[in-house]
Amino acid sequence: MARLRRPTAAGAFYPSDPAALESVLDDLLQSTRTERAARAPRGLIVPHAGYRFSGPIAASAYALLVDGKRAIDRVVLLGPAHFVNLDGAAVPEATGWHTPLGVVSIDHNLVRRAQSLGAAVDDKSHAPEHALEVQMPFLQFVLGNEVPMLPVAVGVAEPARVADLLDGLVEPGVLLVVSTDLSHYEDDETAKRLDRRTAEAITARASDAVGLRDACGFFAVRGLVEWSRRGGLPIRLLDLRTSADTAGDRSRVVGYGAFAIA
């Protein structure tokens, strides 16, 4: 029997009406200045705030998938567990995740592989979480509903532990997406300085230089950086802004970065 996870962020982080959601996504992707590429990247780092705030920065990464999407047959999504204490990683028990654009199938071959690599199979970490859910409409809009995905909530874990998991999950045809925001609730000038430093650490593939307060997806980001270092995969900065750039208030902002891997 199908067991579906219902959306928790629809109507708050992004529109709950399918037509309105498609219109917003189309506008965001059409407005990005990212040059499209014939070959899709191996992975992306994207922000996960409400689309009003971080949507333009996320779109700068997702635009890279448009022309090379035929090479993508599965997606592995990593992000933080904001609301549940988690040691290691957790993948869903659910067979599908529902969004206003339809149902995303969970790839249960990847679920079993993740479990064999030490991930828990548990919906508790995913049920209240927005960080991975807000990526799915972008992916559905660009790739279609036929591409199955594996959402992975990442809790406390050393970079090598996360990189080992990625080594076992990411193979040809698999797109890796890591969901994270950067600095939180600094003034705009301070946030930009901190986020530039974090971006430099990520592009230098220096996982130890990414600090706990530098990104809410700290553990997932450090694992991706270590995985990229092991594989000799370059990480390229696509966009780096704050909520002041998209929503206006400069006194207390959140930082957003988009990156492409290889």
| Whole-number Å distance between alpha carbons of 41 and 62 | 10
Note whether 100 and 17 are within 8 A (CB). yes
> Phi and psi of 155, rounded to 5°?
-100, -145
Centre a 10 Å sphere on the Cβ of residue 188 and count the other Cβ atoms it contains.
Answer: 18
Strands 74-80 and 120-121 turn out to be unpaired
Place of tokens 């309105």: 20
pTM of the model: 0.96
| Consecutive H or E run containing 74 | strand 74-80
Fold designation for 15-261 = Protocatechuate 4,5-dioxygenase; Chain B (3.40.830)
User: Can you give the pLDDT of all 262 residues of the chain as single tens digits?
Assistant: 568 999 999 999 999 999 999 999 999 999 998 887 878 999 999 999 999 999 999 999 999 999 999 999 999 999 999 999 999 999 999 999 999 999 999 999 999 999 999 999 999 999 999 999 999 999 999 999 999 999 999 999 999 999 999 999 999 999 999 999 999 999 999 999 999 999 999 999 999 999 999 999 999 999 999 999 999 999 999 999 999 999 988 999 999 999 999 9
Q: Cα–Cα distance between 243 and 237 in angstroms, integer? A: 18
Phi, psi (deg, nearest 5) at residue 251: -85, -25
Distances (CA, A) of 143 to 9, 84, 99, 227: 21, 30, 14, 24
Q: Are 42 and 175 a contacting pair, CB within 8 Å?
A: yes
Token pair for 49: 């705030």
